[in-house]
Amino acid sequence: MNENTPMDTRSLSVQEKITPVLMKRFDIPGPRYTSYPTADRFLPDSQGKHLIDALNQRSSAAESLPLALYVHLPFCESVCYYCACNKVITKDHSKVAEYLRYLDKEMGLMVSYLPDPARRMVSQLHLGGGSPTFLDDEELTQLMNGLRAHFPFESGCECSIEVDPRTVTTSRLTHLRDLGFNRLSFGVQDFDPKVQQAVHRVQPFEQVAALMQDARTLGFDSVNLDLIYGLPHQSPESFDQTLRQVLEVQPDRIALYAYAHLPARFKPQRRIHAEDLPQAADKVHMLDQAIHAFMAHGYDYIGMDHFALPDDQLAQVKREGRLQRNFQGYHTNAGADLIGLGVSAISQAGQAYSQSVKTLEEYYAALDGAMLPVERGLTLDDDDLIRRDVIMTLMCQGRINFDAVERQYGIEFSSYFAEALARLQEFEIEGLLIRTLAGLEVSKLGWFFVRAMAMSFDKYLWRHQDHQRFSKVL
By CB under 6 A, residue 269 contacts ligand SF4: no
Query: In sequence order, what are the residues at sequence separation of 6 or more whose Cβ sits closer than 8 angstroms to the Cβ of residue 365?
Result: none
Question: Cα 113 vs. chain centroid, distance in angstroms?
Answer: 26
CA dist., res. 227 & res. 322, Å (int): 25
Any contact of residue 80 with ligand SF4 (CB under 6 A)? yes
- In the three-class reduction of DSSP (H, G, I as helix; E, B as strand; rest coil), residue 251 is classed as coil
Least distance (Å) from ligand SF4 to the CB of residue 142?
Answer: 21
Region from 123-131, 274-282, 390-398, 455-463 binding ligand SF4, contact rule CB under 6 A? 123-131
| Stretch of 20-28, 124-132, 251-259, 325-333 lying at the interface with ligand SF4 (CB under 6 A) | 124-132
Residue nearer to ligand SF4 on the CB measure, 164 or 300: 164
Q: Which is nearer to ligand SF4, 192 or 300 (CB)?
A: 192
Contact range with ligand SF4 by CB under 6 A, out of 80-88, 106-114, 149-157, 327-335: 80-88
Considering only residues 12, 51, 76, 211, which one is a binding residue for ligand SF4 as defined by CB under 6 A? 76
Question: Min. distance of Cβ 203 from ligand SF4 in angstroms?
Answer: 11
Find, among 38, 74, 70, 30, the residue nearest to 364 by Cα: 74
For residue 131, the minimal CB distance to ligand SF4 (Å) is: 5
Total residues at interface with ligand SF4 (CB under 6 A): 11
Q: Considering the complex, what minimum distance in angstroms separates the CB of residue 228 from ligand SF4?
A: 10
Stretch that binds ligand SF4, among 74-82, 220-228, 395-403, 463-471 (CB under 6 A): 74-82
Q: Is 350 in contact with 62 (CB distance < 8 Å)?
A: yes
Is residue 85 at the binding interface for ligand SF4, with CB under 6 A as the rule?
A: yes
- Amino acid residing at 97: A
Output phi, psi for 442, to 5 deg.
-75, 135
Q: Is 129 in the site for ligand SF4 (CB under 6 A)?
A: yes
Site membership for ligand SF4, residue 439 (CB under 6 A)? no
**How far out from the chain centre does Cα 367 lie?**
27
Instruction: Provide the sign of the torsion angle of the four alpha carbons 156, 157, 162, 165, taken in this order.
Output: negative
3-state secondary structure of 376: strand
Question: What separation in angstroms does the CA of 107 have from each of 94, 148, 170, 284, 362?
Answer: 21, 10, 30, 44, 17
* Choice from 87, 150, 376, 388 touching ligand SF4 (CB under 6 A): 87
Side chain identity, residue 182:
N
Q: 30, 130, 132, 446: which one contacts ligand SF4 (CB under 6 A)?
A: 130
Looking at the Cβ atoms of 129 and 146, the one nearer to ligand SF4 is 129
Q: How far is the CB of 234 from ligand SF4 (least distance, A)?
A: 16
The residue within the footprint of ligand SF4, chosen from 45, 158, 164, 441 (CB under 6 A), is: 164
33-72 footprint of ligand SF4 as x/- string (CB under 6 A): ----------------------------------------
Gap between the Cα atoms of 20 and 30, Å rounded: 18
Helix (H) or strand (E) holding 348: strand 346-349
SS (H, E, C) 74-110: CEECCCCCCCCCCCEECCCCCHHHHHHHHHHHHHHHH
Nearer to ligand SF4, 76 or 147 (CB): 76
The terminus-to-terminus CA distance of the chain in angstroms comes to 27
Residue 184 binds to ligand SF4 (criterion: CB under 6 A): no
Tell me if 242 sits within 8 A of 192, measured CB to CB. Answer: yes
Is the CB of 28 or the CB of 79 nearer to ligand SF4?
A: 79
Q: Which is nearer to ligand SF4, 81 or 470 (CB)?
A: 81
DSSP state of 263: T
| Least distance between ligand SF4 and beta carbon 90 (Å) | 11
Applying CB under 6 A, does 225 fall inside the site for ligand SF4? no
DSSP state of 37: S
Among candidates 87, 190, 178, 93, which has minimal Cα distance to 141?
178
Q: Is the distance from CB of 439 to CB of 414 less than 8 angstroms?
A: no
Query: Interface with ligand SF4 includes 79 (CB under 6 A)?
Result: yes
CB of 79 to ligand SF4, least distance (A): 5
Between CA 30 and CA 356 the distance in angstroms is 23
Tell the smallest beta-carbon distance from residue 78 to ligand SF4 (Å). 7
Residue 131, interface with ligand SF4 (CB under 6 A)?
yes
Residue 4 C-beta-side C-alpha neighbours within 13 Å:
29
Residue 190 is a binding residue for ligand SF4 (CB under 6 A): no
Min dist CB 346 to ligand SF4, Å, is 16
Q: What distance in Å separates the CA atoms of residue 474 and residue 471, rounded to the nearest whole number?
A: 8
104 binds ligand SF4, rule: CB under 6 A:
no
DSSP 8-state class, residue 472: B
Stretch that binds ligand SF4, among 76-84, 328-336, 359-367, 451-459 (CB under 6 A): 76-84
- Distance between CA atoms of 246 and 15, rounded to whole angstroms? 22
When the beta carbons of 80 and 346 are compared against ligand SF4, the nearer one is 80
Interface with ligand SF4 (CB under 6 A):
76, 79-80, 83, 85, 87, 129-131, 164, 187
